[in-house]
Structure 1
Amino acid sequence: MGENQQAITEDQWQRAALIWDYHQMHHALRPVDVAIGLGSHDLGVATHSAELYHAGLFPTLVFTGGNSPTTAQVFPRGEAVHFREHAITLGVPTEAILLEPNAANTGQNITLSRDILTTAGITPTTILLVSKPYMERRSYATARKLWPDVQILCASEPLELDDYVKSIGNEKLVLDMLVGDLQRVIEYPKRGFAIEQEVPEDVHGAYESLIRDGFTSRLIVS
């Protein structure tokens, strides 16, 4: 994906693991009205969405996402389109999937998915957000802000940090993304994009330390 590889020290790895765990909501899953698979570079979102559908957790699945600079080459027809195609190959019925192909950020993932569901005559009271493992908390905070009248649960592939890094193939990029998503968890409530989330002191310290160490390619510029 263009980022240079970088050797990760054991101390940096431990700090990243703290942030990795914080990003996940650890929700106990139960049946919901609808699931929303959030588009990204990670096809594992579609795989896990299909697994949860087959487990009987929801009857309707929305895939949402257009393209971004990091996904255009991998998913040239758009994230949601490719996710839908992948889920169908895994046995999810075509009629169970709704497609939202335009969202360019997490806020749009939520609001445009809500619009698609409304058009389909579906008014859910419980929703399962399926995302990358390190995006659970940010997607939860965003949905709580933009769709406050529904109950939100979060899920992602049950991977440890080292397994996820192996699946992506670039340690530095993953740590950059962990840091970037935590910055958004911290900053987006101030911009009205999300509800505020408490960040434990050790997690915040790990975040600041990794920034000092140069894991900054996914930071937003204020």
Structure 2
Amino acid sequence: MISTQIWEDAQLLWDFQQMGHEPRRCSIILGLGSHDLSVADASVDLYEQGLAPVLVFTGATSPTTRERMPRGEADHYRERALERGVPARDIYVEPLARNTGQNITFSRQLMEEAGIEVSSALLVTKPYEERRAYATARKQWPEVEFVSASAPVSLERYVESIGDARLVLDMLVGSLQRLLVYPEQGHMIRMEVPSDVVAAYDRLREAGFTSRLIVTGDTTTPA
């Protein structure tokens, strides 16, 4: 049973991760691979609104996605986009990235190889990873202007769609930890984290939502 306090703390982290950007037309739509196909759907929604001429999906597999997406996250996203009617010519796939930093750097290389000039990108992620992804992208591709986006959904509805509250709360805690420790390791820009958000994060850690935490001494393998 998850207590009211835990849900309140989770909501604080959820709200903080939202960047609040207004979607606008960009050079590309960049969908970051994950266990959640709603990222692909949100990317297609933006494409259908005419906000970019191409979709870029990036991601290999992880322990979380290996069984759900055996062909790789980016390939499963591509299949979803094709099912929804996006022309194959407008979809680019980067199938090797295994962390957020690689999502950005490998996609950058893909666009350079394709001869596509990128000055701005709609960065599509899970709702609770907007800020983390934005901070990473700003560090790894600094000349591009990033606009954060995700599926418009509440924490409660998101948990219902995933069907695993503990997984979502673990992911929330892991995303916040990376915002705190990765700037010092050079993986992302520093973004101020309010004290009440840090306090909520600490309480969630103490409550045992720790499966997505990294060993803070590891400076070589961002995830």
TM-score by length of structure 1 reads: 0.96
Superposed CA deviations along residues 119-172 of structure 1, whole A, max 9, x for unmatched, are 110121111110111111111000100111110111000010000000111111
Which residue of structure 1 lines up, in the alignment, with residue 220 of structure 2? none
Tell whether the 8 Å contact from 1:63 to 1:100 is kept in structure 2 after alignment. Answer: yes
**Aligned match for 2:167, one of 159, 169, 173:** 173
Structure 1 distance, partners of 2:145, 2:120, is 5
- 2:179 is equivalent to residue 185 of structure 1: yes
- Spell out the pairing of 1:142-153 with structure 2 (5 A cutoff): 142-153=136-147
Q: CA RMSD in A?
A: 0.7
Q: Secondary structure at the match of 1:154?
A: strand
Q: Distance in 2 between matches of 1:91 and 1:76?
A: 23
- Give the structure 1 partner of residue 4 of structure 2: 10
Distance across 1 between alignment mates of 2:95 and 2:153: 27
The residue aligned with 1:44 is 38
Unaligned runs of 5+ in 2: 217-223
- The residue number in structure 1 matching 2:219 is none
Matched, 1:85 2:40: no
1:115 is matched with which residue? 109
Deviation of 1:11 after TM superposition, in Å, equals 1.0
Partner of 1:209, secondary structure, is: helix
Residue in structure 2 matched with residue 141 of structure 1 by the alignment: 135
How many Å separate the matches in 2 of 1:63 and 1:100? 6
Q: How many residues align?
A: 216
1:72 and 2:58 matched: no
Q: Per-residue deviation at 1:92?
A: 1.1
Q: TM-score, normalised by structure 2?
A: 0.96
Unpaired segments of 5 or more residues in structure 1?
1-6
What percent of counterpart residues are identical? Answer: 56
Give me the whole-angstrom Cα distance separating, in 2, the residues matched to 1:194 and 1:182: 13
Alignment match, 1:19: 13
